[in-house]
Structure 1
Amino acid sequence: MPDELPVSPALFTSAAPNNLNQLSVRIYHSIEEFESPCRPAVTVGVFDGVHRGHWGIIERLVCSAREKNCESVVITFNPHPRLVLGNAEGVRLLQSLDEKLARFSEAGVDVVLVIPFDASFANIDSSDFIRKVLVDIVRASKVITGHDHMFGHGRQGDFALLEEMGRTYNFEVEQVTAIEHCGRMVSSSAIRNAIIEGNLEMANCMLGYQYTLTGKVVRGNQLGKLIGFPTANIELLDKYKLLPSNGVYASLVLQGGVLYRGMSNIGTRPTIDANKLTIEVNIFDFDDDIYNETLVLKFVHRIRDEKKFGGLEQLKEQLSLDKERVKYLLDKDYQYGNLK
Structure 2
Amino acid sequence: MARLIELKDIDHVPNTVLTVGTFDGVHRGHRALIDTVVKKADERKARSVVVTFDPHPREIINPGKSGIQMLTSLKERCELLEDIGVDILLVIPFDRDFSLLTSEEFVRDIIHEKVGVSEFVIGYDHQFGRDRKGTIETIERLGKELGFDSHVVSKHEMGDVTISSTLIRKTLSEEGNVKKAAEYLNRRYLLNGIVAHGDKRGKPIGFPTANLKPEHENKVIPKNGVYAVKVRVSDKWYGGMMNIGVRPTFEGQKQTLEVHIFNFEKDIYGQTIQVRFIDRIRDEMKFNGVDELKDQLNRDKDNSLELIGQLNEFPHN
TM-score tier (shorter): over 0.9
Deviation of 1:189 (Å) = 1.0
Distance 1:237 1:224, change over 3 A: same
Corresponding residue SS for 1:308: coil
Aligned match of 2:109: 132
Residue from 288, 302, 306 that aligns with 1:310: 288
State how far apart, in whole Å, the 1-side matches of 2:80 and 2:170 are: 21
Aligned identity (percent) is 39
- For residues 94-120 of structure 1, give each alpha carbon's deviation from its aligned partner in whole angstroms, at most 9, with x where no partner exists: 000011011111111112210000000
State how far apart, in whole Å, the 2-side matches of 1:173 and 1:233 are: 47
Letter of the aligned partner of 1:164 in structure 2? R
1:144 aligns with 2:121: yes
**Stretches of structure 1 lacking an aligned partner (at least 5 in a row):** 1-22
Corresponding residue SS for 1:95: coil
Deviation of 1:264 (Å) = 0.1
Residue pairs, 1:73-152, within 5 angstroms = 73-90=49-66, 91-152=68-129
Distance 1:59 1:203, change over 3 A: same
Superposed structure 1 runs of 4+ greater than 3 Å apart = 336-340
Letter of the aligned partner of 1:48 in structure 2? D
Aligned match of 2:196: 218
Instruction: Point out the more displaced range, 264-273 or 33-42.
Output: 33-42
Give TM-score scaled by structure 1 length. Answer: 0.89
Deviation of 1:278 (Å) = 0.5
Residue from 274, 297, 308 that aligns with 1:319: 297
Aligned match of 1:272: 250
Residue from 171, 175, 192 that aligns with 1:194: 171
- For residues 1-32 of structure 1, give each alpha carbon's deviation from its aligned partner in whole angstroms, at most 9, with x where no partner exists: xxxxxxxxxxxxxxxxxxxxxx2x332212x3
Residue from 14, 20, 30 that aligns with 1:54: 30
Corresponding residue SS for 2:310: helix
Deviation of 1:321 (Å) = 0.8
Q: CA RMSD in A?
A: 1.5
Corresponding residue SS for 2:50: strand
Equivalent pair of 1:27/1:114 in contact (CA under 8 Å)? yes
Equivalent pair of 1:265/1:280 in contact (CA under 8 Å)? yes
Letter of the aligned partner of 1:162 in structure 2? I
Q: How many positions carry a matched residue from both structures?
A: 315
Distance 1:107 1:337, change over 3 A: closer
Equivalent pair of 1:144/1:173 in contact (CA under 8 Å)? yes
Corresponding residue SS for 2:231: strand
Equivalent pair of 1:252/1:298 in contact (CA under 8 Å)? yes
- For residues 232-276 of structure 1, give each alpha carbon's deviation from its aligned partner in whole angstroms, at most 9, with x where no partner exists: 111112101100000000000100111000000000000010211
1:65 aligns with 2:78: no
Equivalent pair of 2:12/2:114 in contact (CA under 8 Å)? no
State how far apart, in whole Å, the 2-side matches of 1:227 and 1:158 are: 58
Corresponding residue SS for 1:223: coil
State how far apart, in whole Å, the 2-side matches of 1:59 and 1:81 are: 24
Letter of the aligned partner of 2:202 in structure 1? G
Letter of the aligned partner of 1:293 in structure 2? Q
State how far apart, in whole Å, the 2-side matches of 1:338 and 1:34 are: 32
State how far apart, in whole Å, the 2-side matches of 1:92 and 1:224 are: 30
Give TM-score scaled by structure 2 length. Answer: 0.95
Letter of the aligned partner of 2:187 in structure 1? Y
Corresponding residue SS for 1:47: coil
Equivalent pair of 2:20/2:51 in contact (CA under 8 Å)? yes
